[in-house]
Every structure is written in C-alpha cells, then in structure tokens.
Amino acid sequence: MAAAGARMSRWPWWSQVAGVYILARLVSACIFMAAALHQGVNPWFPAKPDYWNFINIWDARWYAEALQTGYPALLPTDDAGTVRENTWAFYPLFPVLGRVVSGLTGTGPAWSLTAIALICGLGAALAAYRIFRRRATHRTALWGIVFLAAFPVAPVLQVPYAESLNLLLLGGALLLVMERRYLWAMPVVVLMCLSRPTGVPFAVMMGLLFLYRAWQRLAAQRPASQRVTAQPVTAQPSTAQPPRGGPVHSAAQLWSLAGLTAVSGIGALLWPAIAWAVTGDPGAYTKTETAWRGDELVPFKPWFDAGIMLFGPRLGVLAPFVFVAAFTLLMLSRPVVALGTELRLWCCCYMGYLLVFLHPQTSTFRMLLPLFPLALSAALLSRSRAYRGAVVVMFVLLQIVWIVWLWAWAPLPGGGDYPP
C-alpha cells in the first residue's frame, strides 16, 4: 500500500485527483449494486434492479422528463387549484446538456445524464483541488479531495442529478473570484444560476465581498495621520503588511467586482423570471418548489417546525438558535479561518440561504455539498494518518447508510418514502 502511494505521489496533480475521484466512485458503485440486490417492490421497476436502473430514480426521472418534454406552459393543479409537482422545480442546464449529448450520441436520457454527472463530478474535483491548493500544501489539498469524494452524500455525483454540474460551476466561479478574474467569472456564474438554486447566496456573497473590498481600499487611501494616532509619524520607511485577504483592490478590480455582483443578482432571478414568462404566473417557480413541502414558503419557519417535531415544543424552539451558534463557532475555528475571506464568506452565505428558505428534511444532507470548502478545513484539522483514515472510513460507512436508508425505496406506513 505504501509503495502504491509512493508511485501515485509522482503522478501529475490532475491524475492524482482523478485517481481519487474514480476510486471513490467505484466504491460508491459497489454500495449501490449491493443495495440494489435488496431493493424490493418500488414505483419504478421490478425488485432487484441492475445498477443503471437503480441510479435512475427519484429526481433523475424528473430531469429525464425535462429533457424529453421540456417545461409545461400551464402549471398543473389539483382540484383545489394548488400547483402540483412538475418540472419547473428542476433547473434547465442539466437536461439541456443531456438533450445535446443524446442527440450527438443517439443514447437515451438515462445514459447521457449519467455520463454528464460523472464527468462534471470529476471536473468539480479538479476545480476543488485548485481552490484548496491556494490555501494548503499539495498533500493536504489532496486529502481535502479525498474527504470530498468520500463524503456520505458524494454518491449523488454519479447519478443523473444536477449536483455535480452545479458543483463544477460553483467551484469554477469561486476559483475565478479568488484569483480576482471577475469578468471571466460572469458567464460561469450565469450558467451556475441555471444549474441549481445557488444563485441567491452567491449574489449575496458577491455583494458582501464588494463592500468588504471597497472598505479595504478606502481604509488604505486614508492619510497615515488618520490611520495611526497613537504614535507620531516618522520618516522611517513603511513596514506595514498587506491587508488580510491580499493586496488592496484597484479601482478597475472594484468595478469588475461590482459588475459580477450585478450579474450574480440577475442570474439568481433568471430561472424564476423564465418560469413567469412561459407560464404567465409570477410565482410559478416558488409555487412549484413548495409543492413538494405541501406548504407556503415562509422564511425561517420550517426550521422551527422541524425543531419542534424532533425535540418537542420547548427545546425545539431553541434548536435553530443552537444550530446557528454552533455553525458560527465552526466559522471562527482556526481550520475554517485558514480558508480565507472568499470561501468562508461563501459558506456563511450559503448556510444563511438554507436557514431562510430551506424546508429541512432528508434531502437536506444532499444540499450540503456546496459547502465543499469545509472538506479542506477537515483536512487541516490534523495531519494524523489515523485521523484522516478514520474520517474516510466513517464517510464510507455513512454512504452505506445514505444509500440504504434514503436512496433505496422502502415504503413508509403512511405511504411514500423519505427522498434522498
């Protein structure tokens, strides 16, 4: 094993990342196949399906429907006029790419969407490594990729879901922002906003980052007499260190960052606006999204409802506050601070978005993937081989739990099953 690791360490960085990703996906495939052997009667296919049928269930069926039939011009409703589940909840970039691949190769939706997911997952791992490498050594960055590839919900990167495509575009956007190539980031962000609903937190992040960088520039431009009052100004040469977060932005960089902020805001509203234009209903997207939860969208309320359901009427009300406090402490911990301004700001904005809009349920685990920078923090926590190996083993065991508990269909007493 040590000899194999030594040989792998001499490979180019991209082949090492690819090796980690492919190995992780093979492990997940074995778990999928083992779970499929125990799959009983379900809404999609006979019991004990093969691997390809088993991974093409749940939302994969919705993406395939969007690929084949597009999006309805008239929202489907029940007898009470409530909007029913439909494809408007599923962003268009993934099925559009699937339609292109199917047209070029002559393959069906299941194959084309699965191939796109696998390839984009590899691209996301490569982008994540480039991001991690800006904050850590090669070895630590590679361990961050190991943690990301083995994460309990990482099997979703090889099924026909849009998570891998979104993770690739998000990673590319974050990398370009960290490199201050804001103009290049604009088209990437627009595509990201059309892959999954990550546009709103990204736009908020860009707005806060613009304010922070503008404040840095204003602070640096103030006369020295206004910045230092405790000691007299001397003629000695300045030994001041560059501000935390890198050199101060130039005026051109600030204007580019402001432009990216505006593009991000427009991109975040693009898909709901398209749904409005096609259906004539300004709330077409939000009505469709809430069709799965069976309730109207009320910010923050679902978290308190979930807390009361899990912990009772007293402790349940406090549960969201405890969660926010714990996440705040995590963001202030040394391994997370080491991520730098942009990555920490993204994690805070994305978690804030989930707190405002998400209805917490079993799909929440899958929605934590955009917090992938925290995989590097986990690798920075300790260099111990025992620690890092234990984390990987724990993650793989939790993959088994996620696939058997949530991916495999097992009808509940009241009907239906928890979604993955």
Report d(CA 366, CA 376) in Å as an integer.
18
pLDDT at 237 (0 to 100): 43
Q: How many helices (DSSP H) and strands (DSSP E) are in the chain?
A: 19, 0
Which parts of the chain register pLDDT below 50? 229-242
- CA angle at residue 277 from 274 to 278, to 5 degrees? 85
Distance CA 167, CA 173 (A): 10
CA distance 360 to 365: 9
pLDDT for 230: 44
pLDDT digits (tens, 9 = 90+) for 396-406: 999 999 999 99
**Domain range annotation of the chain:** 11-221+248-407
Output the pTM of the full model. Answer: 0.93
Q: What is the pLDDT of residue 244?
A: 55
The answer to whether the CB of 255 falls within 8 A of the CB of 213 is no
How far is the C-alpha of 213 from the C-alpha of 190, rounded, in Å?
22
pLDDT, residue 198, reads 97
Q: Is 316 exposed, middle or buried (CB count within 10 Å of its CB: 0-12, 13-18, 19+)?
A: middle
Per DSSP, the three-state class of 143 is: helix
Q: Are the C-beta atoms of residues 189 and 346 closer than 8 Å to each other?
A: no
